[in-house]
């Protein structure tokens, strides 16, 4: 095994480690939301420093590989994919931190009925699954798993689209719960962004494995119409 291969293996292992940490942050965020566990929410915020440190290290490792080994072909695609995935993971960590801050700031428990009619928990579960599937696709180099994430994102988009009307109706009927309702709406918006990050990472997995940049293909298809 060449020195480059060893470095690439380590880069993949470190990326998976960071990914696992971010996914754990999201899971803790859901638990903190459902139990209004402010201590757990504070733990998420403190752990964000580890995510940021991991992002800096991965960026540096990628730069070193470029400088020392000048990778080409599949090796180059892998390092480029890791660079973009690293950025997506850092943003997802920021989203988990933002949700934790909402939990800390809210004064009352999130109404079970509100969570049900807004489909907030369903959306949270779907977002976590997308992140887990994206990690599995990266780890196993499986583009079939990666492509399923695009369809899963449609559920998040649907819930996000309908949430404003649902929560507005809830506020009209429960004006004393306006703060909790608005915080939940903000969390739903953040979960929609988690879906976007997972979808971006799925695209990078496909790019790395198949050398296909889906975003460019979409632009070409639009131009042909």
**Euclidean distance between CA atoms 89 and 20, whole angstroms:** 10
Percent pLDDT > 90 in the chain is 89
- Over residues 179-204, the mean pLDDT reads 97
Mean pLDDT of 55-77: 95
Mean pLDDT for the chain overall? 93
Contact 41, 31 (CB under 8 A): no
Check residue 211 and give its pLDDT. 81
Q: What percentage of the chain exceeds 70 in pLDDT?
A: 94
Is residue 219 scored above 70 in pLDDT? no
As a whole number, mean pLDDT of residues 27-36 equals: 96
Mean pLDDT, to the nearest integer, of 39-57?
Answer: 96
Band the pLDDT of 1: cuts 50, 70, 90.
Answer: confident
Q: Does the pLDDT at position 177 exceed 90? A: yes
Class of domain 3-218: mainly alpha
The confidence band for 225, taking pLDDT boundaries of 50, 70 and 90, is: low
Asked if the model's pLDDT at residue 176 lies above 80, the reply is yes
pLDDT given at position 212: 62
**Angstrom distance (rounded) from CA 128 to CA 125:** 5
Distance (Å) of CA 72 to CA 53, 66, 76, 142, 208 = 28, 10, 5, 21, 12
Residue 132: how many other CB atoms lie within 10 Å: 17
**Residue 99: pLDDT above 80?**
yes
Are 4 and 69 contacting, i.e. CB atoms less than 8 angstroms apart?
yes
Torsion of CA 79, 129, 149, 80, to 10 degrees: -10
Q: Could you state, in order of their start, the residue ranges of all structural domains in the chain?
A: 3-218
Q: For residues 111 and 177, is the Cβ–Cβ distance under 8 A? A: yes
Give the pLDDT band of residue 107 (cuts 50, 70, 90): confident
Q: What is the DSSP string of 86-103?
A: HHHHHHHHHHHHHHHHHH
Quote the CA–CA distance of 172 and 77 in Å, as a whole number: 52
The stretches of the chain forming alpha helices (DSSP H) are 3-35, 38-69, 73-105, 112-118, 120-140, 143-173, 178-210, 214-224
Report the pLDDT averaged over residues 29-35: 96
State residue 216's pLDDT score.
Answer: 52
- Judge whether residue 222 has pLDDT over 70: no
How confident is the model at residue 108, as a pLDDT?
Answer: 86
DSSP for residue 174: -
φ, ψ (nearest 5 deg) of residue 88: -65, -40
CB contact at 8 A, 84 and 112? no
């Amino acid at each position: 095994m060449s020195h480059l291969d060893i470095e690439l293996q380590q880069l993949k292992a470190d990326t998976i480690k960071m990914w696992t940490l971010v996914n754990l942050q999201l899971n803790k965020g859901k638990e903190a939301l459902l139990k209004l566990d402010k201590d757990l929410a504070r733990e998420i915020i403190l752990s964000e420093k580890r995510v940021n440190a991991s992002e800096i290290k991965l960026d540096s490792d990628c730069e070193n590989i470029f400088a020392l080994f000048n990778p080409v072909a599949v090796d180059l695609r892998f390092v480029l994919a890791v660079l973009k995935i690293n950025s997506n993971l850092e943003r997802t960590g920021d989203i988990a931190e933002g949700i934790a801050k909402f939990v800390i700031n809210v004064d009352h428990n999130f109404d079970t009925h509100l969570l049900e009619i807004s489909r907030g928990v369903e959306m949270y579960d779907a977002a976590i699954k997308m992140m887990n599937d994206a990690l599995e696709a990266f780890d196993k180099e499986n583009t079939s798993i990666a492509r399923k994430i695009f369809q899963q994102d449609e559920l998040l988009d649907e819930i996000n689209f309908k949430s404003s009307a649902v929560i507005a109706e809830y506020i009209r009927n429960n004006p004393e719960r306006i703060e909790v309702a608005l915080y939940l709406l903000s969390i739903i918006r953040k979960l929609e962004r988690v879906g976007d990050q997972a979808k971006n990472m799925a695209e990078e997995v496909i790019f790395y494995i198949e050398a296909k940049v889906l975003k460019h293909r979409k632009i070409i298809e639009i131009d042909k119409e």
